[in-house]
Amino acid sequence: MKQAPMLSSAFLHPAGQTLPEPLLALRKQRASLLVDMPLPTRKTENWKYSSKYLKLTDEMAISLPAEGKAGNSLAVSGYKVVFRNGILIPEASDYPDMDGITIQSFSDLSNEEADVLALQLGSTLDHDQAQFARLNGARFDDGLLVRLDADAVLDQPLFIIHETAADTSGSAFPRIFVEAGANSRITLVEEYTSSGDAPAFVNTVTEFTLADGANVTSIRLNMEGESVQHIGATGVVQNHSSRFESHCVGFGGPLRRHDLQVRLVGEEAETKLNGVVVTQGKQHYDNHTSIDHVAANCNSEETYRNIAADQSHAIFNGRIHIHQDAQKSFADMNNKNLLLNNGAEIDTKPELEIYADDVKCAHGATIGQLDEESIFYLLSRGIGRRDANVLLTMAFINELVSQIPLEVVRDTAQIRLNEFFEQTFQEI
Amino acid sequence: MLSIKNLHASVEDKAILKGINLDIKPGEVHAIMGPNGSGKSTLSQVLAGNEAFEVTSGEVTLNGENLLDLAIEERAREGVFLAFQYPVEIPGVSNLQFLRTAVNAMRKHRGEEEMNAAEFMKQAKEVSKQVDLDPSFLKRGVNEDFSGGEKKRNEIMQALLLQPKLAILDETDSGLDIDALQVVSNGVNALRAEDRAILMVTHYQRLLNHIVPDYVHVLAGGRIVKSGGRELALELEERGYGWLGINDEDTSN
Ligand SMILES: Nc1ncnc2c1ncn2[C@@H]1O[C@H](COP(=O)(O)OP(=O)(O)OP(=O)(O)O)[C@@H](O)[C@H]1O
Ligand SMILES: [Mg+2]
């Protein structure tokens, strides 16, 4: 029998030593768990469509240096934190200075603070499903800690810009931990960009814990370049009456994977997950989401849209698990997919596990093409074929794009979408 | 203006139009009546360029230009407008965005400047009033959840905005209440012009009280079997189609 390929040991040696002692120890301990970590193959259920896109070489194992030129990113005024190759750059960042809100790089934590954080890191994630979160745990060189005390409200969104400068081959392992205290409120934007064209690997983990009544809006824009493979995981734990809202907008690449796991552990928690994925050329994108209704009376609403052009490949896997005690759960999952070319591939799979009897759970998945009748209607009004295609493709995701609560993010996404249309629909 | 000669068309190898001949001069209004399934919508769709239908023989010219050679959007830009019997719903594209894209495509074709959002909004609001549609309809998705009558008014609104040379109205009067019929008729009458031809498909002579046609044609079994003046519509209303020798076979498919 052929041995399953293992993660090369080259990936097990972290470079940066600037972290406080408790985090260095944590990293070391996590690394020891990684020895003999099998790489996913076609036979790995949660990677079966994507394993063929994963191409990690030993050259990519080393951490990219923190210097390097900046990519183009959201032009923001207001609060921002810039990571370059997984290292937080204080000079480029602009933190809020508000009572009740702590925003700090992992490297700046005292040993006492780091002790507390070490117990929390990884606690929101099921690592058997998001295997690569383990690798991040063994390799993160830096990270961002955001703590909101009870009732703290961040008055403006916090932009976290992750730039990967892929001038040489290497990896980046940024990590974010957000603890939202009772009734606190924050909007946080993660933007992933890159420059350079050396093969690079970005492996992220972002975690949110929401105390009772906390309200978190998370926006994630994935716009890295064609040489960057990206595997990210987001873990969310929600307590009583908390509200989490996520907007993920992703553009394809050689490998794109995002695992989003939400656990509703307190009653009356609400979660809303929106996602838009656009792929073209030979690009790939794989979204795996998972919502655990652990407590009763919670509400989850999930809407994902994939658009695949050319020979690209998009994957959506949506798992909803309603635990035995989660009576009166309401869960609605909807995934629609648009194939723009016959050569494109979309795989969608809902996974429902329901162990409570008094629940409302709806799910739907469709795969379709642009509607011929609608195209004819638009053309019959003098609209050109290209514009008709663009209007109808935008129509497919408009509802989700317009729900993104920040104009600057909508605009940034729209610019990328326009480039996509430019390349996908030639004037006929 | 419009000249149709011996037009044959089929869908999925089934012949629907079997030799249509029709000439329409500028300024004229022609009504086409005829039983269900006789090919009225097919004729309308073929003129607009719907590729689901195959033209197997015949000739269609608009102001001397071969219409059948033109792509759908080119026909529209040359002035062909079809008000659909069943307008398509397009959720996610706002009516306003749709209309502005269409108007600007036409303007660009004529070498005129495109209209900005504010200018267009003003014009669109005026025209929506003309067909008694609240301006809030401009913000909704194209025909999305519009009632049958609202869809028809939206079609006429588009005709008024696009100012076509040839307006083909496929049962624009169907499903309208009495007030809406009045509104739509006023809209169509507003379209009547020296340099514009109108071809209306209808089942009801009542529309022709509001919009008085110059000619009435009866389409049956894919052919025009009778043409006359306005009085032909009255006669059809009274006597049905039987006296024209239209048999069941013609009307059943
Ligand atoms: N896409 C299609 N596929 C198959 N048959 C079609 C198609 N479109 C039209 N037909 C057939 O062509 C014939 C003519 O249809 P058409 O819609 O032109 O009739 P009509 O005169 O407009 O009828 P009505 O008064 O009911 O609107 C009908 O038998 C119809 O079933
Ligand atoms: Mg018809």
Task: For residue range A359-409, list pLDDT tens digits in order.
Answer: 999 999 999 999 999 999 999 999 999 999 999 999 999 999 999 999 999
d(C-alpha B146, C-alpha B143), whole Å: 5
| Count of CB pairs separated by less than 8 Å, A with B | 79
Inside any domain, residue A387:
no
Tokens describing residue A398: 């408009």
Q: Is the pLDDT of residue B85 over 70?
A: yes
Contact (CB<8Å) B93/A385 = no
Q: Is the pLDDT of residue A427 over 60?
A: no
Closest approach of B109 to chain A, Cα-based (Å): 9
Contact (CB<8Å) A377/B90 = yes
Cβ-based burial of B115 (10 A; exposed 0-12, middle 13-18, buried ≥19): middle
pLDDT score, position A68? 62
pLDDT score, position B248? 45
Which residues form ligand 1's pocket by a CB distance below 6 Å?
B 11-12, 16, 34, 36-42, 52, 85, 253
The ligand that comes nearest to the alpha carbon of residue B34 is: 1
Q: Is the pLDDT of residue A1 over 80?
A: no
- Which residues on neighbouring strands pair with residue A244, listed in sequence order? A216, A271
Whose Cα sits closest to atom 25 in ligand 1? B36
Cβ(A247)–Cβ(A403) below 8 Å = yes
Inside any domain, residue A150:
yes
Inside any domain, residue A248:
yes
Q: Within an 8 Å CB–CB cutoff, is residue B88 touching chain A?
A: yes
Residues of A with CB below 8 A from B90's CB? 374, 377-378, 391-392, 395
What confidence tier does B250 reach under pLDDT thresholds 50, 70, 90?
Answer: very low
pLDDT score, position B214? 94
Q: Within an 8 Å CB–CB cutoff, is residue B174 touching chain A?
A: no
Task: For residue range A31-61, list pLDDT tens digits in order.
Answer: 988 888 889 999 999 999 999 999 999 999 9
pLDDT score, position B249? 47
Inside any domain, residue A142:
yes
Counting other chains too, the contacts that B103-107 makes at CB distance below 8 Å and 24 or more residues apart are B103/B161, B103/B162, B105/A381, B105/A382, B105/A383, B105/A384, B105/A387, B105/B73, B105/B77, B106/A382, B106/B76, B106/B77, B106/B162
Contact (CB<8Å) B97/A384 = no
Closest approach of A66 to chain B, Cα-based (Å): 43
Closest CA to B253 of B53, B37, B41, B35: B37
pLDDT score, position A74? 67
Q: Is the pLDDT of residue B97 over 60?
A: yes
Inside any domain, residue A125:
yes
- Taking residues A351-362, what's their average pLDDT? 96
* Atom number in ligand 1 closest to CA B35: 25
- Please count the structural domains in chain A: 1
Whose Cα sits closest to atom 4 in ligand 1? B11
Task: For residue range B119-175, list pLDDT tens digits in order.
Answer: 999 999 999 999 999 999 999 999 999 999 999 999 999 999 999 999 999 999 888
What is the value of pTM for the model shown? Answer: 0.91
- Taking residues B56-75, what's their average pLDDT? 95
Q: Is the pLDDT of residue B198 over 90?
A: yes
A22: helix, strand or coil: helix
- Percentage of chain B beyond pLDDT 70 is 97
User: Could you tell me the distance, in angstroms and rounded to a whole number, from the CA of residue B171 to the centre of ligand 1?
Assistant: 13
Cβ-based burial of A281 (10 A; exposed 0-12, middle 13-18, buried ≥19): middle
Q: Is the pLDDT of residue A76 over 80?
A: no
- Longest CA pairwise span in chain A (Å): 69
CA closest to A402 among chain B residues: B92
Task: For residue range A111-160, list pLDDT tens digits in order.
Answer: 999 999 999 999 999 999 999 999 999 999 999 999 999 999 999 999 99
pLDDT score, position A201? 97
Residue scoring higher pLDDT (B249 or B159)? B159
B107: Cα separation from own chain's centroid: 21
Closest CA to A117 of A219, A197, A21: A21
pLDDT score, position B242? 81
Range of the domain at A230: 9-370
Residue scoring higher pLDDT (A20 or A17)? A20
What confidence tier does B234 reach under pLDDT thresholds 50, 70, 90?
Answer: confident
B45 residue type, one letter: Q
Inside any domain, residue A362:
yes
Tokens 């909101």 -> residue: A148
Residues of A with CB below 8 A from B106's CB? 382
Q: Within an 8 Å CB–CB cutoff, is residue B49 touching chain A?
A: yes
Contact (CB<8Å) A374/B90 = yes
The ligand that comes nearest to the alpha carbon of residue B9 is: 1
Contact (CB<8Å) A380/B76 = yes
CA closest to A373 among chain B residues: B88
B215: helix, strand or coil: strand
* Atom number in ligand 1 closest to CA B42: 18
Contact (CB<8Å) A379/B51 = no
pLDDT score, position A202? 98
Cβ(A128)–Cβ(A50) below 8 Å = no
Closest approach of B244 to chain A, Cα-based (Å): 34
- Taking residues A195-208, what's their average pLDDT? 96
- Percentage of chain B beyond pLDDT 90 is 81
Contact (CB<8Å) A396/B92 = yes
Cβ(B20)–Cβ(B55) below 8 Å = no
Tokens 């951490």 -> residue: A63
* Cα separation values, B178 from A321, B175, B189, Å: 55, 10, 16
ipTM entry:
0.95
Q: Within an 8 Å CB–CB cutoff, is residue A392 touching chain B?
A: yes
Kind and range of the H or E element at A380?
A: none
* Cα separation values, A355 from A6, A288, A329, Å: 36, 21, 11
Inside any domain, residue A390:
no
Whose Cα sits closest to atom 26 in ligand 1? B36
Inside any domain, residue A376:
no
Which of A:393-412 have CB within 8 Å of B? Answer: 394-399
Task: For residue range A249-301, list pLDDT tens digits in order.
Answer: 999 999 999 999 999 999 999 999 999 999 999 999 999 999 999 999 999 99
Q: Is the pLDDT of residue B253 over 80?
A: no
Q: What is the mean pLDDT of chain A?
A: 94
Q: Is the pLDDT of residue A72 over 90?
A: no
User: Could you tell me the distance, in angstroms and rounded to a whole number, from the CA of residue B172 to the centre of ligand 2?
Assistant: 10
* Cα separation values, B158 from A165, A303, B148, B154, Å: 51, 33, 16, 6
pLDDT score, position A73? 63
Tokens describing residue A115: 């002790």
pLDDT score, position A14? 73
Q: Within an 8 Å CB–CB cutoff, is residue A377 touching chain B?
A: yes
Contact (CB<8Å) B90/A392 = yes
Which letter does DSSP use for residue A341 in this model? Answer: S
Of B41, B224, B225, B252, the one to substitute when testing ligand 1's pocket (max ligand atoms within 8 A of C-beta) is B41
Whose Cα sits closest to atom 3 in ligand 1? B11
Task: Please state the three-class secondary structure of B34-97 as a single string.
Answer: CCCCCCHHHHHHHHHCCCCCEEEEEEEEECCEEHHHCCHHHHHHCCEEEECCCCCCEEEEEHHH
How many other β-carbons are positioned within 10 Å of the β-carbon of residue B70? 17
What confidence tier does A2 reach under pLDDT thresholds 50, 70, 90?
Answer: low
CA closest to B76 among chain A residues: A382
